[in-house]
Structure formats: C-alpha cells, structure tokens
Amino acid sequence: MLTEIAIEDIGVYRLPNMWRHQRIRVIRGENQHLATLAFGLGITIKQFKKLPRDKQDEVHQAFCQLTAPSSTPRMKAA
C-alpha cells in the first residue's frame, strides 16, 4: 500500500492526517481541494498556487493515486 509519493523538485506528498483534515474542513470553495494538495506537501495554499501548473498537476495525480481504491487495503471475505 502506498502512503507517500515523491515528486521531483517539490518533495514528498502524503495524505493529510486527521489534524490537517480538521483544518481543511473549515476552508470553503476551490481552496478546500487546494488545501488537501498543499497540506499534503507541508506548504500553504498560497505557496501551492505559486507552483508551476505542471507540478500542481503532478501533486493532484499523486493525490489520486494514493486515494484510488486499489491503493487501500482490502478486507478478506470470510
């Protein structure tokens, strides 16, 4: 199971933990999704918006890869 993805020239993306999710919940609009991407890198939304568009897309792809159903552990049927 993947828990983090290294993004060249940016850093390591990890899904936000429960404390960061609490902070993300109070953000409204488009910035809420951007917060998920930015906080996973350990940066602010403002810093994330300054990244080149291709790097923002790479971070989004990492998010999608980590949240894809195939990356989550499955329970065995009894």
Q: What is the pLDDT of residues 31-69, one digit of tens each?
A: 999 999 999 999 999 999 999 999 999 999 999 999 887
Total domain count for the chain? Answer: 1
Q: Is 29 within the bounds of a domain?
A: yes
**pTM of this prediction?**
0.79
Return the beta strands (E) in the chain as ranges.
Answer: 4-7, 11-14
Residue numbers of the domain that contains 47: 4-70
In this structure, is residue 75 part of a structural domain? Answer: no
Query: For residue 61, what are the contacts with CB-CB under 8 A and spacing of at least 6?
Result: none
Nearest partner of 45 among 32, 64, 26, judged by Cα: 32
Answer whether residue 78 is part of any domain. no
**Domain assignment present for 45:** yes
SS3 24: helix
Residue 34 domain-assigned (yes or no): yes
User: Between residues 21 and 72, which one has the greater pLDDT?
Assistant: 21
Instruction: Tell me the mean pLDDT in the region 3-23.
Output: 89
In a domain? residue 52: yes
Q: Is the Cα torsion angle 37, 10, 63, 75 positive or negative in sign?
A: negative
Domain-embedded: residue 77: no
